[in-house]
Amino acid sequence: MGASLRRIGAVVLRHVYLFRTSWLRILDSIYWPAVQMVMWGFLTQFLSNQTSYVAQAFGVLLSGLLLWEVLIRGNLSLSIAFLEEMWSRNLGHLFVSPLRPIEMAAGIVTVSLLRTLLGMIPVSLLAWAFFGYSVYDLGLPLVAFFLILQMFGWSVGLSMSGMIMRMGLSAETFAWAGIFILLPVSGVYYPIAALPTWLQYIAWCIPTAYVFEGMRTILTQQVVRWDFMLIAFSLAALYLAIGFRVFLLFFNSSRRKGTLLQQGE
């Protein structure tokens, strides 16, 4: 028997109900990216008068920031959607219903996508309003970047959610901070070539490196690196499949250890 769209839809609806009762949850998705965007926007304005690199491509730092936030929001929104069930001690009800773990994962992935869009679209419009910079100038590749970063963010979020399901809320910190380990090797604000050689090898195993290098190539050379895009998409798809698998492995381990009923710290 395959996954049911009806049950996945029910999981999405459950979170839509939650957003309707608590707008602060959506505001949270806008607040931090907006603060970051304003800070980096002013820094970019300042640097553009000082360095030829930034002057050449005004949006390189702001685009980096906005795309990094796409990854972060994708990851955090998924983890939070899962944590909502832990916080409300609802997992026991969910997993004795006909909802399959894979449907649960697909549902929170969809919720994460909605939440990221609800957060990032207003922030991108703010960047345009404040600094006259439009991330949409990246054109069609922006859609690919967005999708790749979301997929990779979900893969990390699924793994972290699985770990929290298995270990309890004492592992919640990983949901918030785990993704940031990727920041130094993703080349968000500097080229991968700036890293030590051994770290570059690690960076090129992660889809984010291709996305941010690809973004810089568009902004500084007006060249779209479709090869980077293809590699990044393949890697993101691979990591997402691994993320689903890890979530299921932790679910099965939780079933053996009996942690689905005993949630907490």
Partner 1 sequence: MTPAIEVADLRKEYGKIVAVDDLSFVVPGGAVLGLLGGNGAGKTTTISMLLGLLEPTSGAVKVLGIDMLTQRFKALPRMNFSSPYVDLPHRLTVRQNLDFYGRLYGVPDVKKRLAEISDTLQIGDMLERPAGALSAGQKTRVALAKALINKPDVLLLDEPTASLDPDTADWVRTLLKDYQRQTGATILLASHNMSEVERLCDDVIMMQQGKVFERGAPGELIARFGRNDMEEVFLDMARGRQRGLDDLKKVAE
Site residues for partner 1 per CB under 8 A: 1, 4, 6-7, 9-10, 13-14, 17-18, 21-22, 84-85, 88-100, 252, 255-258, 260-261
Write the single-letter amino acid at 95. Answer: F
Rounded least distance, CB 24 to partner 1, Å: 11
Rounded least distance, CB 138 to partner 1, Å: 37
Considering beta carbons, is residue 45 or 253 the nearer one to partner 1? 253
What span, in angstroms and rounded, lies between the C-alpha atoms of 208 and 216?
Answer: 12
- Please, what is the angle between helix 226-257 and helix 140-167, to 10°? 20
Considering beta carbons, is residue 56 or 90 the nearer one to partner 1? 90
Cβ partners under 8 Å of residue 13, min gap 6 = none
Considering beta carbons, is residue 25 or 225 the nearer one to partner 1? 25
Rounded least distance, CB 161 to partner 1, Å: 17
What CA–CA distances, in Å, run from 197 to 186, 188, 200, 215? 14, 17, 5, 21
112, 74 Cβ separation under 8 angstroms: yes
* Nearest alpha carbon to residue 14 among 25, 3, 27: 25
Rounded least distance, CB 121 to partner 1, Å: 24
What span, in angstroms and rounded, lies between the C-alpha atoms of 49 and 116?
Answer: 33
What span, in angstroms and rounded, lies between the C-alpha atoms of 250 and 129?
Answer: 44
Rounded least distance, CB 111 to partner 1, Å: 13
Q: How many alpha carbons fall within 13 Å on the CB side of residue 226?
A: 1
Considering beta carbons, is residue 114 or 260 the nearer one to partner 1? 260
Considering beta carbons, is residue 38 or 260 the nearer one to partner 1? 260
Rounded least distance, CB 67 to partner 1, Å: 32
Considering beta carbons, is residue 2 or 139 the nearer one to partner 1? 2
Rounded least distance, CB 136 to partner 1, Å: 35
40, 94 Cβ separation under 8 angstroms: no
Considering beta carbons, is residue 126 or 260 the nearer one to partner 1? 260
**Distance in Å from the first CA to the final CA of the chain:** 35
